[in-house]
Structure 1
Amino acid sequence: MNPVRIAILVVAAIAAVMVALLLRNVSAKPKAPPPTVVMQQPKFTTRVLVASHDLPVGVRLGSQDMTWQPWPTDSINGAYITDGVKAAPKPAGVAGAAHDAQIAAKDVIDGGGAAMQSLQGAVVRSDIAKGEPIVAGKLVRAGDGGYMSVVLKPGMRAMAVPVSAETGAGGFIQPGDRVDVMQSFTDQNHKGPGNGVVDQIVVSNARVLAVDQSTEPPKNGRSAVAATITLEVPADAAPLITEAKTRGSIMLALRSYADMAGGPGHASVAGATPGMRLIKGGQITEVAVSR
């Protein structure tokens, strides 16, 4: 046999053996398992009560200050206020829009639900940012400790004055009203008209904080004769009211809701030194009264 042919046969045999060994090794390797398909569980949500806009300290909550926001159920803090309903993910597209419209209509009909209604009238004691969950620790309600100090505006003081049907506008003064604090007394040292009788406006446009122990107007709208009315007055008016009470009874004059004299929403000390006016025959004269 030709030596060249013998060499070709040997090379071919060696190649065949190598191919056989390679195929054996490949077939011996374990097959990779098929990829595992992980089915994601649908994320349920629960509506949480949040601030509809920034709420600074002292704001009295109304329905316009609160709204419901979907929140992942598994990440809800125990302090959050919820509507108690665990909802599946809403459908997409037109069905989702219809779902949102249905929920919004329900909120309008039932006033946002019992949880939202129960917070109306509460006062914010710590700032709440827009979209932040509303929690009980950031609110104070009438009857709670610290309520009056939260309701008071900066620089103002709460002063209680005794009243009767005669001195308290017949019982028609209610929390939230505005009044003028007045007093009439005799001063023998006064040299002027009125035989020494001085009619004094101590404070103008004072906000009524409470009538007796009630900080909310009566739901039936009826008048009630109170024994004490608490007013919000400037710090410099507090000693003037105290001094007025030592001279005798004081009277509260109910102001018209539309009357913004003296600055809308701000109580002021009437007069210059120390804030006294003489009212005679419809004429008002500023006078200085020594203490």
Structure 2
Amino acid sequence: MNKRMVIILASGLMISMLMAIFVQALMRSGSSQNKVEISKKDVLVASQHINIGDDLSDDKMTWQAWPSDLVFDGAIIRQENQAAGDALQGRVVRVIQKGEPILPTALIAETDGNFLAARLNDGMRATAIKVSAESSVGGFVTPGDYVDVILTYQVRVPSSNDGAQERAAEYVSRNASQTVLENIRVLAVDQDAKSKESAKIARTVTLEVDQKGSEVLALSSSMGDLSLALRKLGDTSHTEKKTDLTTDVLISNVLQQLNQSQNNSGNNAVRVYNGADVQQQMIRARIVPQQ
């Protein structure tokens, strides 16, 4: 092999090595370009199917990574370590499918006329009652609180011939009070359905009750005065049995003493019938001295 052939072979080998190095460099360059991370943002989406009127809660929402160039206007984007439940609150006005982004436009605004209706649970009604500072815990009742409703009224015992009035006198003279509804949610104070830290003196309070409860409130309002008793936060207990009567006779020592004195006096009532007229005469029992 002559010198010229050796030079040609060496040159070919050199060129082959350079080409291999060049191809390898190109492959590495393409690989590094493929590894460039796509910019993403966390978008608030529904973690389950959400129906109309449902209240948004943590278990119904989650964050999902979306490419930044696909995020559209109106989408809720996560801020730092923000929890899903802190990003949006309220009730939805349309069905939201699982995985669908939750937009503020899907919620009912507190200024909308049907906002209160959207807050009602299934089968419940919103019923308003008149209140004052004294009957609404000094104005410290706010939307979201739970209360008991107390009725104070004048007892009217019908006049009859079976002695109902005489028997009723042992328990009540004129006034009575009783709890007619327990553990009732406050929906709104006046026309404000938004919870506030500060209290205010209200003229009306709207309560969430079932159909029977709305009837009880309507009738109770015509019978006497309604008062609200604020319940402890988280207290959902109910009275399982009827409580003792709360009447003026059972509270007033004076009325109790008068009843006791009358019972000890030996007085008896006799009805005198004169045609259609009936009169009741009290007759004191005569004490006969012993012989």
| TM tier relative to shorter chain | 0.5 to 0.7
SS at match of 2:225: coil
Alignment check: 8 A CA contact 1:48 1:70 kept: yes
Tell whether the 8 Å contact from 2:154 to 2:224 is kept in structure 1 after alignment. Answer: no
Query: Deviations along 1:226-257, whole A, 9 cap, x unmatched?
Result: 11111001111212211222233311111122
Counting only pairs closer than 5 Å after superposition, residues 182-261 of structure 1 correspond to structure 2 as 182-189=150-157, 191=165, 192=168, 193-218=171-196, 221-261=197-237
C-alpha deviation, 1:64, in angstroms: 6.7
- C-alpha deviation, 1:148, in angstroms: 1.2
Matched letter for residue 279 of structure 1:
T
Corresponding residue for residue 49 of structure 1: 44
Q: Gapped runs of 5+ residues in structure 1? A: 1-36, 84-102, 283-291
TM-score, structure 2 normalization: 0.58
The match for 2:80 is: 107
Shift, 1:209, TM fit: 0.6
In 2, the alpha carbon distance for the partners of 1:235 and 1:130 equals: 34
Contact kept? 1:189, 1:196, Cα under 8 Å: no
RMSD of aligned C-alpha atoms? Answer: 3.6
Do 2:47 and 2:60's aligned partners in 1 also have CA atoms closer than 8 Å?
A: yes
What is the aligned residue count? Answer: 207
Question: What TM-score, normalized by structure 1, do the two folds share?
Answer: 0.58
Equivalent position amino acid for 1:69 in 2: Q
Q: Which of 101, 105, 109 is matched with 1:141 structurally?
A: 109
Correspondent of 1:164 among 132, 138, 142: 132
Secondary structure of the residue aligned to 1:124 is coil
The equivalent of 2:143 in structure 1 is 175
- Equivalent position amino acid for 2:93 in 1: R
Q: What is the SS of the residue equivalent to 1:249? A: strand
Note if 1:119 corresponds to 2:88. Answer: yes
C-alpha distance 257-133 of structure 1, shift in aligned 2 (>3 A): same
Relative to structure 1, the CA distance from residue 82 to residue 182 in structure 2 (aligned partners, 3 Å threshold; closer, same or farther) is: closer
1:69 to 64, 72, 92: 64
1: CA distance, partners of 2:177 / 2:145: 23
Report the AA paired with residue 61 of structure 1.
L
Q: Within the alignment, does 1:128 sit opposite 2:100 as a pair? A: no
Whether contact under 8 Å (2:155, 2:172) holds in the other structure is no
8 A Cα contact 1:46 1:82, kept in partner: no
Q: What's the counterpart of residue 288 of structure 1?
A: none
Distance 1:277 1:247, change over 3 A: farther
Contact persistence 1:200–1:277 (CA under 8 A): no
Pairing of 1:11-26 with structure 2 (within 5 A): none
Distance across 1 between alignment mates of 2:42 and 2:156: 70
